[in-house]
Chain A
Amino acid sequence: GAVVSQHPSWVICKSGTSVKIECRSLDFQATTMFWYRQFPKQSLMLMATSNEGSKATYEQGVEKDKFLINHASLTLSTLTVTSAHPEDSSFYICSARGSGIGYTFGSGTRLTVV
């Protein structure tokens, strides 16, 4: 089956620093990738949608300059949280979809900003 690998699974960073999260489709070409954020005891909230080689489309209220998304290849998308602050602490989850492939999710990244 389709597999999406997300790294790191958890990260702790100091306030003001940047953190990069990787999302890879291991056995299929992901034409579209999605990035979600989930706060404790809440549902997943979509942050942005990215197509390979194109700029990401951000949901309303998501700062594109703070959450940089790169989808330079059909198997890799990255989310960089720039100048992270404690309120950015959350569970970040990627999802990938390809031709004939349903939505496959990564295992998530727990970001803690101290």
Chain B
Amino acid sequence: DAKTTQPNSMESNEEEPVHLPCNHSTISGTDYIHWYRQLPSQGPEYVIHGLTSNVNNRMASLAIAEDRKSSTLILHRATLRDAAVYYCILSPGGGSNYKLTFGKGTLLTVNP
């Protein structure tokens, strides 16, 4: 399985943008980049995913490096509710059996 590397923790102030990095230097050409987040005592929540192009949705933006060896999750205006562990995970496209493997993720703290 291709591995991802994320900082253990990051800190942000409320209403400021947050850039969460993820390195995946061994990514293969068909691997999708997924981001999930987990609030305390809850199951993971889908944030965003992409393959090659940058992606935007109502929650966040995903910026993917041209060589795809790294990506950045961007929260445009952090709120206290965004405090969570953010996981960057790779999975191959196609098929429903592929299991998501979670690393340690990045613990995001948002200061009021």
Contacts and interface: CB of A to CB of B under 8 A. Distances in A.
Interface size class of B (residues with CB under 8 A): 20 to 34
A34 B100 CA distance: 9
Interface in B29-81: 34, 36, 38, 41-46, 49
Q: Is the interface of B mostly helix, strand, loop or mixed?
A: loop
A46 to B, nearest CB: 5
B46 A104 contact: yes
Contact of A95 (B38, B42, B100): B100
Contacts, number: 53
Given A103-B46, A105-B43, A107-B43, A43 B97 contact: no
Contacts of A99: 96
Contact of A31 (B43, B87, B96, B105): B96
A72 interface: no
B103 A108 contact: no
A26 interface: no
B96 A106 contact: no
A43 B104 contact: yes
A51 B97 contact: yes
A2 B34 CA distance: 16
A108 B102 contact: no
A93 B96 CA distance: 18
B8 to A, nearest CB: 11
Nearest to A1: B46
Interface string A10-43: 0000000000000000000001101010000001
A78 interface: no
B96 A34 contact: no
B97 A49 contact: yes
B96 A97 contact: yes
A51 B100 CA distance: 15
A93 B46 contact: no
A51 B97 CA distance: 8
Contacts of A31: 96
10 contacts: A6-B43, A43-B105, A44-B102, A97-B96, A102-B34, A103-B36, A104-B46, A106-B43, A107-B42, A110-B41
